[in-house]
Amino acid sequence: MRKSYEMVEQKLNLVSGLQLWQWRSRAIAKAIANNVPVAEIDWLLQEVAGLDRLALRLDSFKDKAEIIMALSLEELDHLWHRRLDDRLPVQYIAGSTPWRNFRLKVSDAVLIPRPETECLIDLAVMAARSEVSSQLKQGHWVDLGTGSGVIALGLADAFSESTIHAVDYSLEALAIAQKNADNLGLADRIRFYQGSWWQPLAALKGQFSGMVSNPPYIPSNIVPTLQPEVAKHEPHLALDGGFDGLDDIRHLIEFSPSYLKPGGVWLIEMMAGQAEAVKMLLQKQGSYENIQIHTDLEGVERFALAFVSAE
């Protein structure tokens, strides 16, 4: 009996409100001393202890006899120290992040989805609408380099009549993406493939309505200079775009026309300062028309959109 009680207790990770309140007070002091945003603590407690913002603001959780946590207090404390000492991103501690209307599972096998990447879905919707006659909202769409699955999930949500394909080189990333699709009830809309860019999709050549990708685009020599949260913890496979950051973008420009239908959408995210080069590469390839550069919410030229020419 005693044993099973202990097992249940361990699984539920019960703490008293007072214990958690004391932990939070210490965590806040350490965050300030280490230049980590204090707001991360309350966000983390919402994620791992199910506390709401009001309870945190009013300190009312302090009086609760029991709070159920996804981690033990020791684990939470250990991970919070890794946040401070080792710059582990808070989303990897929580194991989750918000993105558009989703709550997504993340681990250090995947890039933490960024707010600016959310715009890719709106641009895809806009692009599909602009070619009314070709019915781009239907048919096959692909997310190349899916990572946590965000773009594929966003496309599945936006294009209810289409089939979404999602490719990643990393099996670990695909496991996270599949889990996210299961959790969000979108698994029957997305097919996952392990491989390099278009390679697993040879059977569907010429049939895609659209391709959307957030490929690695940081120049190799810049990657180690990024903030330590990124450089030390996020997968370099998802960041490092080679010498000038454009290796994977060049590959996507070169190979996509044979996979997309005439009029099909080509849409990527890129780094600040790459817009001119990407536009020129698209023009030079010769199979694209209506090439557009779009800015993110901070006004940075962040996205390139083009359509495969009809002939």
Window 74 to 113, contacts with ligand GLN (CB under 6 A): 111
Q: Do 153 and 77 meet the contact criterion of CB atoms below 8 Å apart?
A: no
Q: Indicate whether 149 belongs to the interface with ligand GLN (CB under 6 A).
A: no
Q: Indicate whether 154 belongs to the interface with ligand GLN (CB under 6 A).
A: no
Of these, 104, 136, 144, 239, which contacts ligand GLN (CB under 6 A)? 239
Q: Candidates 49-57, 82-90, 96-104, 216-224 — which segment interacts with ligand GLN by CB under 6 A?
A: 216-224
Pairing of strands 96-99, 102-105: antiparallel
Q: How far apart are CA 277 and CA 189, in angstroms?
A: 35
Q: Indicate whether 142 belongs to the interface with ligand GLN (CB under 6 A).
A: no
Of these, 230, 237, 291, 300, which contacts ligand GLN (CB under 6 A)? 230
Is the CB of 136 or the CB of 239 nearer to ligand GLN? Answer: 239
Count the Cβ atoms, other than its own, within 10 Å of residue 10. Answer: 10
Q: By rule CB under 6 A, what count of residues binds ligand GLN?
A: 10
Q: Indicate whether 147 belongs to the interface with ligand GLN (CB under 6 A).
A: no
Q: Candidates 17-25, 36-44, 178-186, 215-223 — which segment interacts with ligand GLN by CB under 6 A?
A: 215-223
Nearest to 210 by CA among 164, 253, 241: 164
Q: Helices (DSSP H) in the chain: which residue ranges?
A: 2-12, 17-33, 39-49, 53-58, 73-86, 90-94, 119-130, 150-158, 171-183, 228-233, 247-255, 275-285
Give the type of residue at 267.
Answer: L
Residues in touch with ligand GLN (CB under 6 A): 111, 114, 214-218, 226, 230, 239
